[in-house]
A and B are shown apart, each in its own frame.
Chain A
Amino acid sequence: MNLKELKEIIDIVTSKESIEELELEKSGLKLRIRRASNSVPAVSVAAAAAPALTMPAPPPQISTPQETQEELFYIKSPIVGTFYKSPSPTSEPFISIGDFVEKGAVVCIIEAMKLMNEIESDVAGEIVSMLVENGQPVEYGEKLFAVRPR
């Protein structure tokens, strides 16, 4: 990676407010950039040639249209597991973008240790976007859906 490429990456990170932290590993180079505006403390590392980190396990989130914080509610995963948007591989998804859901409506399944857990919406509102892919591993607290509350 040359200086020009590095600058480009830095520009991308700083221009996209949705990116808080970027980690990149590529043929012998590990790069980590963290947005300075948040209050997260910097980690001081003893004598590393370059800040070094590798890609965390969950694949990158699908980018969503930007909405302001106050408008949207995020349904987050309460467990660690695999996200499925339909009750079974051959069924229709539980919900689609634009659907209205009531509080308590089942929006997806997260499978953990061979058990299918139905995940319910905590609010009533319109499904604005799905933030994970079908079959994607999700961690605790991972944002699954964005909902515009009624």
Chain B
Amino acid sequence: MFKKILVANRGEIALRVILSCKELGIKTVAVFSEADRHALHVRFADEAICIGPPKSIDSYLNIPSVISAAELSNADAIHPGYGFLSESAYFAEVCEASRIKFIGPSSEAIRLMGDKARARSEMNRFGLPVLPGSEEAIHTDKEAISTAEAIGYPVIIKAVAGGGGRGMRVVHNRSELLAALKTAQAEAASAFGVPDCYIEKFIERARHIEFQIMADEYGNAIHLGERECSIQRRHQKLIEESPSVIMTPALREEIGNRIVQAVLEVGYSNVGTLEFLVDERNNFYFMEMNTRVQVEHPVTELVTGLDIIRDQILIASGDRLPHSQNDIEFRGHALECRINAEDPVTHKPSPGKITSWHAPGGPGVRIDTAAYAEYVIPPYYDSMIAKLIVHAANRDEAIRRMDRALDMFVLEGVKSTIPLHRQILRTPEFKSGDIYTKFIEDFQQDRRARAVEMA
């Protein structure tokens, strides 16, 4: 078992790792930027080392600083959290070379899954369906037409070098195709420097459903069920839940088993999440794999009763998988709202001082946060300040519980997405589970239209 773990992160996830270490009797080292001197993760770690100025690139993303801090403090392992260096194959390699255990999969696994195109073709080889699409960039009109035909309209044209929703064009029929391709290529060239575009099937009303897996370093793996994360804005998740309304125990078992097989084939270890896009006929298409613990892991923890971070640490220290698939039971329904310090309508970040703070409690309510009363939210990092997660016997009760908890959450001094979450939870569509990835977009458009009407 590790004696000391350095947490290479900040905010709520750093605190989350520290708390599991405390329960395991493992000493912790926090690293912090100058902007985080008064952060909670610094306070609750056994040791703390300042590693740079406020900007992430100079501090939390600064590999020499982080490794140096681990060496100075004699940490035997590093937990990278999520974001920052958690999916840097290079960082995992440096840890390996420095003989510090990286709590996560191997650098090869990170590298494989980081190459999205390669990850898809590998997982496809091992039995996971992927979204039909051209393997490579489209070079001629003829290729474009025949590829689109083979896939079946609607299709989406995407930049090879792109991401984050930019350089994409949806095409509904053949007559639109060639003009859309030219425009997409021009956009790609100007935004990403490379005009290459590929074509993929487009799902109108898609659900984002992901599966959590856990594997040890001895070839054992299990799945921990799914999470539905369809409520997102610009590819940033806002609300997550488990189970998904479309899931049945049989479907879960079938997909779960296939996934477990696939991750074993690629030699994966520690935790990971496979993301799928699901069409209206409940066809699952593998999109990508995240080789780290996710923001929304508490949702799975509440329905399974597990401590995923703790299991990560045990696996990394050489233990066999702490649970077998038969041990895993899914009980009740969990819902998570990501509370961001931003304007609930414009989503402009709202850093500053929290003047008043009271987190809700009661049965089935959990808060993962590093914020507190009088805390000054620094402007240098992402705007998420708390995760509010609830667990109840079924989805209806979970929604009621979340609404109650949001209502009793006192957060003043900065703007937050709490009002937005309450509004979403009250829509008939959310209540009936009729959700999809464009939900927020349509919801906000709707709101703007109604505002115009009333003006």
Contacts and interface: CB of A to CB of B under 8 A. Distances in A.
B68 A41 contact: no
A141 B374 CA distance: 25
B64 A54 contact: no
B72 A140 contact: no
A72 B322 CA distance: 57
Nearest to B39: A43
A137 interface: yes
B50 A43 contact: no
Contact of A142 (B50, B59, B71): B50
B25 to A, nearest CB: 15
Contacts of A81: 68, 72
A44 B373 CA distance: 7
Contact of B72 (A41, A54, A137, A141): A137
Contacts of A57: 29, 47-49, 72-73
A65 interface: no
A41 B353 contact: yes
Interface band, chain B: 20 to 34
B29 A42 contact: no
A113 B71 contact: yes
Interface in B1-36: 29, 34
Interface centre among A41, A80, A139, A142 (most CB of B within 10 A): A80
B49 A80 contact: yes
A80 B72 contact: yes
A79 to B, nearest CB: 7
B353 A141 contact: no
Interface string B57-93: 0010000110111011100000000000000000000
Contacts of B98: 113
A132 to B, nearest CB: 13
Interface in A69-90: 79-82
A41 B374 contact: yes
B280 interface: no
B392 to A, nearest CB: 24
Interface in A9-33: none
A36 B72 CA distance: 32
Contacts of A139: 49-51, 69
A53 B209 CA distance: 41
A112 interface: yes
A19 to B, nearest CB: 16
A79 B43 contact: no
A62 interface: no
A79 B69 CA distance: 10
Contacts of B43: 43, 53
A54 B46 contact: yes
Contacts of B68: 79-81, 112-113
A82 B68 CA distance: 9
B38 A43 contact: yes
A40 interface: yes
B46 A41 contact: no
Interface in A109-144: 112-113, 137, 139-142
A76 to B, nearest CB: 10
A111 to B, nearest CB: 9
Contacts of A60: none
Given A57-B72, A81-B68, A81-B72, A41 B38 contact: yes
Interface in B361-380: 372-376
B47 A80 contact: no
Nearest to A51: B43
A137 B34 CA distance: 17
Contacts of B38: 40-41, 43
A113 B40 CA distance: 28
Contacts of B40: 43
Interface of B: 29, 34, 38, 40, 43, 46-53, 59, 64-65, 67-69, 71-73, 98, 353, 357, 372-376
Interface of A: 40-44, 53-54, 56-58, 79-82, 112-113, 137, 139-142
29 contacts: A41-B38, A42-B374, A43-B43, A43-B372, A43-B374, A43-B375, A44-B357, A44-B372, A54-B47, A56-B47, A57-B48, A57-B49, A57-B72, A57-B73, A58-B49, A79-B64, A79-B65, A80-B51, A80-B69, A81-B68, A82-B72, A112-B64, A112-B68, A113-B68, A113-B71, A137-B49, A137-B72, A140-B59, A141-B53
Top 4 closest pairs, chain A to chain B, by CB: A41-B374, A57-B47, A139-B50, A80-B68
Given A57-B49, A81-B72, 8 more contacts: A57-B47, A57-B48, A80-B69, A81-B68, A112-B71, A113-B64, A113-B98, A141-B53
